[in-house]
Amino acid sequence: MKLLFPFLVFIFSLNTVQAQDAATLVSKLKEKLQKVHDYEAAGVLKTDVAFIKAPAGKIIVYYKSPDKFTLKRQGGISILPKGGMNVNMASMMSFDYLAIDAGEAIVNGVNTRVIKLLPKDETSELILSTLYIDPLKLLLQKVITTTRSNGTYEMLMSYDKYASYGLPDKMVFSFNTKDYKIPKGVTLEFNDADKADMEKMKNKKGKVEISYTSYIINKGVSDALFK
């Protein structure tokens, strides 16, 4: 009994220290990412959904602090998951949140700290955001976000040349899709599809991969680009 109280104090302190570590880690990451005020990034976007055959296409991504983001395909059509794809790192943390340490995990062979961000605003569109942060390099390896309107999606990042800015070379954005249904009167195809195709189409996960080839960082981006 004499030992219980100090033990409980120790545990509570530990949690407090860890909680502080979680918030601190997120803050440090945020601080690093906020060094990028704007960028223009060239890349290739590939939409990978079971029932969509779409070729990869060249894109340009524009970001301007604090939350202006747009993705433009150079000619052609982009098929993006509903709700847009705001894949900007800094915006992951641009809301009032409570940071909770959720342990550790290995992502892409990297040891990461798992930190859950709970929005303080109960009416927020965002319900929960789970960050997988490489604490040594201060890089966001993975984010899992749950929203009210658009369900849950996951972002997986890999870094190379632009790691010092916290900007990924490759990002994979995974999401759930609804069944693809279209009346035959629109397609004017009256034959039933191949059974193998039908089976394949049941996969309800979709992915968007962006491979960035270059970033132009902090050189200024016009507001007109975001209209």
Residue of 186, 190, 140, 183 lying closest to 165 (CA atoms): 140
Tell me, what DSSP letter sits at residue 67?
T
Question: Binding residue for another protein (CB under 8 A) from 3, 6, 178, 223?
Answer: 178
> Is the Cβ of residue 66 or residue 76 nearer to another protein in the bound state?
76
In the sheet where 170-176 sits, what is the strand order?
68-73, 57-64, 38-49, 205-217, 170-176, 151-158, 139-147, 126-134, 110-119, 97-107
Tokens of 179: 């069944």
Of the pair 123, 187, the CB lying nearest another protein is at 187
Phi, psi (5° rounding) for residue 121? Answer: -75, 115
Q: Does 42 bind another protein (CB under 8 A)?
A: no
Question: What HEC string does 172-218 produce?
Answer: EEEEECCCCCCCHHHHCCCCCCCHHHHHHHCCCEEEEEEEEEEEEEC
- Per CB under 8 A, the segment of 93-101, 105-113, 131-139, 177-185 that binds another protein is 177-185
**Is position 2 an interface residue for another protein (rule: CB under 8 A)?**
no
Q: Is residue 201 a contact point for another protein (CB under 8 A)?
A: yes
Nearer to another protein, 60 or 100 (CB): 60
Q: For another protein, how many residues bind (rule: CB under 8 A)? A: 42
Site residues for another protein, 147-176, by CB under 8 A, read 175
Is residue 93 classed exposed, middle or buried when 0-12, 13-18 and 19+ CB atoms within 10 A define those classes? buried
Minimum CB separation of residue 25 from another protein in Å reads 33
Helix (H) or strand (E) holding 130: strand 126-134
Of 30 and 73, the one with the shorter C-beta distance to another protein is 73
Q: Which of residues 63-102 bind another protein (CB under 8 A)?
A: 71-73, 75-84
- Judged by CB under 8 A, the stretch of 4-12, 14-22, 184-192, 213-221 that binds another protein is 184-192
- How far apart CA 12 and CA 5 sit, in angstroms, is 10
Residue 59 CB-half CA count within 13 A: 23
Shortest distance, position 82 Cβ to another protein, whole Å = 5
The distance of closest approach from Cβ of residue 158 to another protein in the complex, given in angstroms and rounded to an integer, is 17
Binding site for another protein (CB under 8 A): 46, 48, 50-57, 71-73, 75-84, 175, 177-178, 180-182, 184, 186-193, 197-198, 201, 206
